[in-house]
């Protein structure tokens, strides 16, 4: 488990939701696109949210699939406490699992596995391994949707994306200490380029994979073509 990342999110949990929209310049498009990629006739699909935090992405999906069965996994118990409060009284079918998704069992098979702004904390080999694990826990016809950060194809683009982000948060109304804490958290990021992430999704056994949305270093990936969990 990455103890530093866990501690940072434990500490940020209380203020997390109120800051999110101001920290992510493309907030509505980013989460909205990820949620729109859940496409099924099934009214109550099983959906696993990895690094679910306070349940932001699940909340976007829940608006479209109020009867789905949601499993939220995160190694920060404080973040999941916020998720518990978010869904209290909404009637949402939510199961919370405090665990490291890189090492712990996913607790079943799913129709969709989703994640937002979490997997970039893993090393490159850790991401490759996780993509394989995800595919093996998806039911036939299932899909993996990952809204995450992505590295630019060179330092030139990384610098441009950083400049865009810093300009945006400087004008966001966040307090200097909130901006400083966010910059501190971003020091732990291990971003991967879009082509590498797509190659690793295909290597993991997904027949189809694409980056369906991108704004600067915020990217939404979709991968499917799951014919059987262990084929």
Ligand X SMILES: C[S@@+](CC[C@H](N)C(=O)[O-])C[C@H]1O[C@@H](n2cnc3c(N)ncnc32)[C@H](O)[C@@H]1O
Residues in contact with ligand X by CB under 6 A are: 5-6, 9, 20, 51-53, 56-57, 74-76, 79, 100-102, 116-118, 121
Question: Burial of 176 by CB count in 10 Å (0-12 exposed, 13-18 middle, 19+ buried)?
Answer: exposed
d(CA 229, CA 135): 7
Least distance to ligand X, CB of residue 177, Å: 18
d(CA 115, CA 94): 16
- In degrees, rounded to 5, the angle at the alpha carbon of residue 17 between the alpha carbons of residues 148 and 118 is 25
Q: Which of residues 76 and 224 has its CB atom nearest to ligand X in the complex?
A: 76
Strands 138-149 and 46-50: unpaired
Least distance to ligand X, CB of residue 101, Å: 4
In sequence order, the 6+-apart residues with CB closer than 8 A to the CB of 209 are 198, 201, 202, 221, 222, 223, 224, 225
What's the half-sphere exposure (Cβ side, CA atoms, 13 Å) at 171? 6
Least distance to ligand X, CB of residue 230, Å: 24
Q: Please answer whether residues 64 and 35 qualify as being in contact, where contact means their C-beta atoms are separated by less than 8 angstroms.
A: yes
What's the half-sphere exposure (Cβ side, CA atoms, 13 Å) at 67? 5
Q: Which of residues 107 and 228 has its CB atom nearest to ligand X in the complex?
A: 107
Q: Which of residues 56 and 226 has its CB atom nearest to ligand X in the complex?
A: 56
Q: Which of residues 20 and 139 has its CB atom nearest to ligand X in the complex?
A: 20
Q: Which of residues 51 and 205 has its CB atom nearest to ligand X in the complex?
A: 51
Least distance to ligand X, CB of residue 224, Å: 21
Closest residue to ligand X using C-beta atoms = 53
Least distance to ligand X, CB of residue 105, Å: 12
Least distance to ligand X, CB of residue 55, Å: 7
Q: Which of residues 31 and 206 has its CB atom nearest to ligand X in the complex?
A: 31
Q: Which of residues 28 and 208 has its CB atom nearest to ligand X in the complex?
A: 28
Least distance to ligand X, CB of residue 54, Å: 6
CB-CB neighbours of 229 under 10 Å: 14
Question: Could you tell me which of 2, 27, 9 has the C-alpha nearest to residue 220?
Answer: 27
């Amino acid at each position: 488990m990455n103890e530093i990342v866990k501690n940072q999110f434990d500490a940020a949990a209380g203020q997390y939701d109120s800051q999110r929209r101001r920290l992510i310049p493309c907030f509505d498009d980013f989460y909205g696109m990820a949620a729109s990629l859940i496409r099924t006739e099934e009214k109550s699909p099983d959906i696993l949210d990895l690094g679910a935090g306070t349940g932001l992405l699940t909340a976007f999906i829940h608006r479209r699939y109020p009867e789905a069965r949601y499993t939220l996994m995160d190694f920060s118990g404080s973040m999941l406490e916020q998720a518990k409060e978010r869904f209290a009284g909404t009637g949402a079918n939510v199961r919370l699992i405090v665990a490291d998704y890189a090492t712990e069992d996913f607790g079943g098979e799913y129709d969709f596995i989703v994640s937002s702004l979490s997997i970039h904390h893993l090393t490159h080999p850790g991401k490759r391994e996780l993509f394989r694990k995800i595919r093996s826990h998806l039911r036939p016809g299932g899909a993996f949707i990952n809204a995450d950060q992505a590295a630019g194809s060179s330092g030139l683009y990384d610098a441009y994306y950083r400049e865009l982000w810093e300009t945006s948060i400087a004008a966001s109304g966040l307090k200097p200490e909130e901006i400083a804490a966010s910059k501190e958290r971003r020091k732990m990021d291990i971003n991967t380029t879009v082509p590498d992430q797509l190659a690793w999704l295909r290597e993991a056994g997904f027949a189809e994979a694409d980056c369906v949305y991108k704004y600067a270093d915020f990217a939404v990936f979709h991968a499917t073509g799951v014919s059987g969990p262990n084929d």
